[in-house]
Chains A and B, each alone.
Chain A
Amino acid sequence: MGRLIDAGPDRLSRAMLGILASLIDGVLVGLVYGLAAMGLTLIWGVMDVINLTHGAMVVAGMMALYLLASALGISPYLTLPPVLIGGFFVGVALYWIAIHRMVGRPPLMSLLSTFAVNLILIGVGTAVWGTALFNVEVSLPGVSIGRYTFPGAHILAAVLAAVIAALLYVFLHNTRIGKAVRAVANNREAAELVGIPTTRLLAISVGMGVSLAGVSGMLIGTLFPFTILSGDGYQLKGFIVTVLGGFGNPVGALLGGVALGLLEGAVTPFVPVSWTLVIEFVLFVLVLIAFPGGIFASRRGAL
């Protein structure tokens, strides 16, 4: 920064603009991270399960985007509805295969079972598609401020993420099923006593969680190239966001995502880029230690 200040006000204001640009870009990307984490936090909130297949589901969304858009020629953003719906059914299947028997058992068991399914999915994915890079061409006019441009795809992805998050909120608070989901999250036994078909709702919740993961994958696919192995990185970011935003708190997840994006955008101008990951992980561990349920932790079970 020193050299920039010496060079006069013009260079300084340009540098400030650069930082601002990074921050704004961080918020845009952060909203998508937040969407990805919302799926994770929803499943956790409803049934105390940390879904370690999350990364694989994000990749599934990316692959769906690629296959539908590149192979069948459908416009990229039109793949959103099929991914949303398809993801739901995949999630329900995941529930019945790996989670149903784990409900009520120690959380470590579901951790391991979802972890195992993740190994299987990534293994099969790599066997079928290798680890080649997939890229989906998305060209939208961007918005420029001075020398810095915000790609149109980033803006649209952020907008869509926010819209879906809003829809989820409305669903959870204003529809019967949504309220039933929150009831189950709050107290499963009580919900059963009142006649709510809990098993079905747990399956629905996992379905929604996976659907969100898939959609976020699809949106990320419009921003960056990806491989089958990309899921792990986003899953890790998902954990960081969930920790920041609070387990079981979807709104917190969105805010946590924005926070992470801001962090990445804020750190990069000042620090050699290779330190960004170190800072993220240190923060992750510190936040976990200081706020074991996450910064905006809801009371247990309340969505």
Chain B
Amino acid sequence: MKRLCLLAAAAMLFAAPAFAQDNSSADTITVGFTDSQTGPLNVDSLGQQRGYEYWRDEVNAAGGIKVGDKKYTVKFVSYDDQSVGGRVQQLYTRLINQDHAQFLFSPYSSGLTAPAAVISEQYGKIMIDSGGAEEKPFELGNKYLFMVITSATHYMSGAVEALKEKNPHAKIAMVYSDDPFSKDVMKAAKEQAEAAGLQVVMDESYAPSTTDFGPIVNKIISSNADAFMGGGHYSDGATLARQMYDQRANMKWVSILVAPADDKFGELGPAALGVTVPSQWEVQVAYKPQFGPTTAEFATAFEAKFHAKADYHAASGYTSGTMLQHAIEQANSIDPEKVAAALNATDVTTFFGHVKFMTDPGHHGLQAAHEMVLAQWQKVNGKPGRQVVWPTAAQSAALIYPISASQ
């Protein structure tokens, strides 16, 4: 019986490759990626995925990517990674070997992008990263990895500068999630704050699964801080904001990572007002694009298509696509080496901002030019809404300090 099963199984396995589609047909380019349709990251991952899809639909509507005198339609193959790192590696291996993906996009979040990048490098495929800001994967010596978003160590620099301008004697409590992204961001933030002469009176991380921040907030109050920086991803950031408000921590400044960049954060009502968030992009920024849509055009068309406001995950996802397309067109080829060379030479500005990649082997692929903006939740027509408040050149409203003035 077991032998029969074994033979049947072996037969199945031999036959299986026949069912895999050969996607490298003459007129299509296959791009592979995973997204977190389920699992704790799915809210943020959705924006990125929509960004990818929006780009694909736009490029195919225009006939495809032009290489020489041929036009290639873009085809996606994607799987749900369920926000689990182990699955990511299996799926990217499958995307490369079975689905014959020629180019790859990253999953969402640093924790998932790092394992994916191992696979892409093992097989020599280009991966464009719009979801993972952690820098370590780029410091191991890669050739085909490219990050379009600002990297972790630059996340808080704008917030630190803005705070220093409002209060050069601020005392900062830094409390953040114990995950690679948040730790990277806040380590750099602490160095930048101390270099700017600000005092960091508390520096602690919490387990990402923490739900009750009551004792932590009390500790923040005891530290005599008047400014707060930290958080992690959506659920802890939102809870921190709410509990600091409920327990009347009376911070004059609050910067939280990721969570406030999502429109859902507004549902916290008064607890949201005044909270600032470093953002890769907001609908109010006004870079002049060298090609592609302007911010306003992108935001309107996106909302019309998906019935949801575009957030920075969508904008960065879309930009992954446009950067890949631009490089293919510049290289006039789909050969990975040539496209990688074209990406290394890229230096353009789109509605998303200025994009240029580092090329030295010790930091290959890290984003060199793009900058964060700081957004703040304020009362817009009586309801909470986000405004860009820093840098002053890009602002759509003035920064409110102390944040209690925004109530």
Direct contact of A and B (CB under 8 A): yes
Within 8 Å CB of A25, what residues of B?
Answer: 214-215, 218
Say whether A130 contacts B42, CB under 8 Å.
Answer: yes
Say whether B242 contacts A274, CB under 8 Å.
Answer: no
* Interface window among B88-96, B111-119, B151-159, B203-211: B203-211
Residues of chain A from 212 to 239 with CB closer than 8 A to chain B in the complex: 223-227, 229-230, 233
In Å, the complex CA distance between A25 and B215 comes to 8
- Count residues of A near B (Cβ-Cβ below 8 Å): 43
A179: interface (CB < 8 Å): no
Within 8 Å CB of A21, what residues of B?
Answer: 218
Of the candidates B40, B178, B250, the one whose C-beta lies within 8 Å of that of A274 is: B178
A85: interface (CB < 8 Å): no
* Interface window among B56-64, B139-147, B262-270: B262-270
Do A26 and B215 contact each other (CB < 8 Å), given the known contacts A142-B246, A148-B221?
yes
Within 8 Å CB of A298, what residues of B?
Answer: none
Do A268 and B207 contact each other (CB < 8 Å), given the known contacts A127-B38, A149-B248?
no
The number of A-B residue pairs with CB atoms under 8 Å apart is 115
Say whether B242 contacts A135, CB under 8 Å.
Answer: yes
Say whether B246 contacts A131, CB under 8 Å.
Answer: no
Say whether B38 contacts A268, CB under 8 Å.
Answer: no
Say whether A269 contacts B215, CB under 8 Å.
Answer: yes
Closest Cβ of chain B: how far from A108's Cβ, in Å? 27
In Å, the complex CA distance between A283 and B218 comes to 24
Within 8 Å CB of B267, what residues of A?
Answer: 135, 137
Of the candidates A26, A132, A226, A273, the one whose C-beta lies within 8 Å of that of B264 is: A132
Do A18 and B235 contact each other (CB < 8 Å), given the known contacts A130-B43, A148-B247, A274-B205?
no
B288: interface (CB < 8 Å): no
Do A15 and B204 contact each other (CB < 8 Å), given the known contacts A25-B214, A135-B242, A265-B215?
no
Of the candidates A14, A131, A267, A277, the one whose C-beta lies within 8 Å of that of B207 is: A277
For A154, A223, A273, the residue with the greatest tally of chain B CB atoms inside 10 Å of its CB is A273
A interface, CB within 8 angstroms of B: 14-15, 18, 21-22, 25-26, 29, 126-127, 130-133, 135, 137, 142, 144, 147-151, 153-154, 223-227, 229-230, 233, 264-265, 267-269, 272-274, 276-277
- Sorted nearest first, the 8 A-B pairs with minimum C-beta distance are A268-B215, A18-B222, A151-B246, A273-B206, A149-B248, A22-B215, A25-B214, A133-B235
16 contacts between A and B (CB under 8 A): A21-B218, A26-B215, A130-B43, A131-B42, A142-B246, A148-B221, A149-B247, A224-B242, A225-B238, A227-B40, A269-B215, A269-B218, A273-B215, A274-B204, A274-B206, A276-B206
Given contacts A126-B39, A269-B222, 6 further A-B contacts (CB under 8 A): A22-B214, A22-B219, A26-B214, A135-B238, A147-B221, A225-B239
